[in-house]
Amino acid sequence: MAEVSARANASTETGAAHSDRDGATGESQLPILRFLTCGSVDDGKSTLIGRLLFDCQLIHEDTLESLSVESRNFGTTGDELDLALLVDGLQAEREQGITIDVAYRYFSTPRRKFIVADTPGHEQYTRNMATGASRCDLAIILVDARKGVVTQTRRHSCIAHLLGIEHVVVAINKMDLVGFDAKRFAEIEKDYLEFAGALGIPHVTTIPMSALQGDNISQRSDQTAWYDGPTLLEKLETVDVSTAAASAPLRMPVQWICRPDLDFRGYAGTITSGSVKTGDHVVALPSARGSSVSRIVTADGDLDSATAGDAVMLTLVDEIDISRGDVVCAANDRSEVADQFAADVVWMSERPLLKGRPYLLRLGQQSTVCQISELKHKINVETLEHVASRQLELNEIGLCNLSVTKPIVFDHYEDSRESGGFILIDRLTNETVGAGMIRFSLRRAHNVHWQAVDIHKDVRSTLKHQRACCLWFTGLSGSGKSTVANLLEKRLYSQGRHTYLLDGDNVRHGLNRDLGFTDADRVENIRRVTEVARLMVDAGLITLVSFISPFRAERRFARERFEGGEFLELYVDTPIEICETRDPKGLYAKARTGDIKNFTGISSPYEPPEYPEVTLHGGSRSPEALVDDVIEYLVSNRIIDEV
């Protein structure tokens, strides 16, 4: 390992030289390039980054000594330094020889500073790649010269393009293993450029290289005399990725309202685009209330102006209502505000995206519940064909229409990553399940408005001398839901109550006759019934809903569509063994033999309620006794009067 010591000494001397040079020229003034490496597994991403750091003489002596030891323990290069270990930081990665997490590294040359994200190659970790790409200006997509362009190459290219990366370097690596064959390089280059042209990537550079041996990384290789393009480092140092963030319209998401006393109200946030100066007229969205900037406050004192990237606190001439999550915009060039829009979605969860299922959408400081109202198509990453589908699986990409429960403030993603990109979160597990890029608002969102009416729910309920509500019965098939709901409606009817019963089987003969029993169909089944039940409650009725409704997410969605106190969840808790004995149609038996697919409790899950208003023990009490329990609850909570 004599090379280690010699290289370390050179690194120390060069580091000192860099330090002197930085002091003279001001390293902080160097432009920054954020880039990522991606590709299929074992294409050499980590080795490439390690080689860049090594060739730029940016590895300290103690790091090199540690690398020497780790190369012997975990390396794959024999007696040579395994440069991939500089980046493969996780123990699991080192033992398996793969990259799992996104590893970030920072380095600089006399011409530029770099932030590099080394992202995973395995298909199941594509979500990590999307995370790394979201803040990058350039993507290095590695291709193994032996394998050529593969599915993961195309998938990463699609994601990089959707996330707004315009500059792609195709690093055709391991050229040493194909004898630096110019014909092989040309074949791969042609294959990729055809795909990139169809995808619409504007700037593509292809470079033949060997990350292991250092060919065309920082020095031009004698092995590729037929190649006259730049080395990788030359490309990284000279590529123009300047953006128009400073000249774009003002956008400042409000992160915090500062009110230390009655005489001061400031709105703190980081300016994501544009600039602002005292006296500028601004508006706060979504309220669209306007004012003028009176002060621009920072920790170092007031400023006359601020620009993109500055963290500031604005005070306004007028006291207008602004909350966390609102966006301060230029008055003459505002963001859009809508509750329906189209977006490209990259799905990151092993549980599929389902139309109609509620998710939590977060865009900047804004947060709201959303639904996929339509999956228009998904993208076949091999052919770029638009494929009809009812759901998105892990790592799939699709164009969706989304609706949110309250309007959000946004720009088109192609105009602004910060105000056009969002994430989707599973509301039960808090897992990030998707990333989205907004294309445009839907025209129907601008054309459909609430019509004011004079006769409303309270008036209708008063006329009927009752309190309108939704009694939502849930439980396994055969638990006794429909029996109890039917007996309860008869009891309420005998008391002069105005009711309506929505039963799962009956509704499937009409409103939902087009739906099957897949997870996606079950979600849509509950969504439709929820909207019908809302109309029934709005009519002043006590509405009984008897549906298996197996998923907590959909029952939670149903609850949130009603006003407080209107939705009552009644869980008919009957053991599955008893349910099977009450099965005259033999559905459970058919499900256990596989004759019926997606049967709740057997081949499809049932998620019991966690906090129902009423739990009815259907296995140990008669239906009449269970109805008594419900009546007692309704009376004690003043939903109906005692008779």
Question: Which positions are catalytic?
Answer: 549
Cβ atoms of 48 and 171 closer than 8 Å: yes
Number of H helices, E strands in the chain: 18, 30
How far is residue 367's CA from residue 349's CA, in Å, rounded to a whole number? 20
Give the residues across from 269 on adjacent strands.
312
- Amino acid letter at 522? R
| Among 538, 497, 544, 499, residue whose Cα is nearest residue 642 | 497
Cβ atoms of 269 and 256 closer than 8 Å: yes
How far is residue 552's CA from residue 607's CA, in Å, rounded to a whole number? 6
For the record, the structure tokens of 629 come out as: 């329990």
How far is residue 545's CA from residue 547's CA, in Å, rounded to a whole number? 6
Give the residues across from 173 on adjacent strands.
144
Give the residues across from 499 on adjacent strands.
542
For the record, the structure tokens of 468 come out as: 């309108």
How far is residue 190's CA from residue 208's CA, in Å, rounded to a whole number? 13
The SS3 call for residue 567 is strand
For the record, the structure tokens of 474 come out as: 């849930």
R_g of the chain, CA atoms, integer Å:
31
Q: How many CA atoms lie within 13 A of 620 on its CB side?
A: 4
- Amino acid letter at 439? R
For the record, the structure tokens of 374 come out as: 């339509």
How far is residue 526's CA from residue 559's CA, in Å, rounded to a whole number? 11
- Tokens 């002091």 sit at which residue? 23
Running DSSP on this structure, what letter comes out for residue 3?
A: H
Cβ atoms of 392 and 359 closer than 8 Å: no
